[in-house]
Amino acid sequence: MNDFYKYILKPTSINFYKKITIGHVVKLLIFYFVAILIMGLISHLLCDKLGIIKNYHLNTNKILIGVFLAPIYEEILFRAPLIFKKKYICLFMIVSAILDVLAMIKPNILGTIVFSNFLLIPIILHLIFSEKKIEIFIKQNFRWFFYFSVFFFGFAHLTIFSGDYLKIILIAPILVSPQIILGLILGYIRMNYGLRYSIIFHCVINSPLLLILLHK
């Protein structure tokens, strides 16, 4: 775990992947569940105290999407671009386009705005700068891109909360601390072991949702 702690304190762009081991995965899982047990309890107590409601309206479709599809598109959106290569940017844009269309069909105005911007940003950057310049800039400032992806991933989950918006914003880092912790772990896995392993780990983390189906 020392490697994990060192990396999240000083994240760097890595040019090669390490070999992942089951033992290391188990340690990361234990770390995650212990951390969210503590932070999740604090978040729950604050929600009760401040009258903030968690909107978990789960049905079979949402559970299956949460376990099998969400980890794929979330990893592509939040962590694939950490390595600025054409294949990852293409994946990012394809997923953004699909989610943009789905948001327009629903309709979901906020989703449409967000995913439309996701599509526009890479296009605008490529029109202004060369791919090499963008890649060098990201590597030189990688720590901040890494932390941005972690917190963006966390704050994207604020949509599950409802109540006094000022209260939600003021304690947002605590409310989404489980997702921020997960973002740190997934970012570490993505950069050190590869995107497919961060997707698999994400699926494993979400898999307890399947237990809800068994009790229906």
Given a cut of 70, whether residue 73 has pLDDT beyond it is yes
Q: What pLDDT score was predicted for residue 58? A: 73
Dump pLDDT digits (tens) for 82-120: 998 889 999 999 998 888 888 888 776 666 677 777 778
Average pLDDT over residues 137-158: 93
Quick one: three-class SS letters along 104-148?
Answer: HHCCCHHHHHHHHHHHHHHHHHHHHCCHHHHHHHHHHCHHHHHHH
Q: What pLDDT score was predicted for residue 118? A: 76
In terms of C-beta distances under 8 Å and separation of at least 24 residues, what long-range contacts does 66-69 make, across chains too?
A: 66/206, 66/209, 67/203, 67/206, 67/207, 67/209, 67/210, 68/203
Given a cut of 90, whether residue 59 has pLDDT beyond it is no
User: From the DSSP assignment, how many helices (H) and strands (E) are in the chain?
Assistant: 13, 2
Average pLDDT over residues 186-211: 92
Neighbours of 102 (CB within 10 A): 14
Sequence ranges of the domains in the chain: 21-214
Residue 203 pLDDT class (50, 70, 90 cuts): very high
Closest CA to 114 of 87, 160, 171, 153: 153
Threshold 0.85, pTM exceeds: yes
3-class secondary-structure state, position 162: strand
Given a cut of 70, whether residue 214 has pLDDT beyond it is no
Closest CA to 178 of 67, 58, 31: 31
What does the alpha-carbon distance between residue 92 and residue 122 come to, in Å, rounded to a whole number?
A: 9
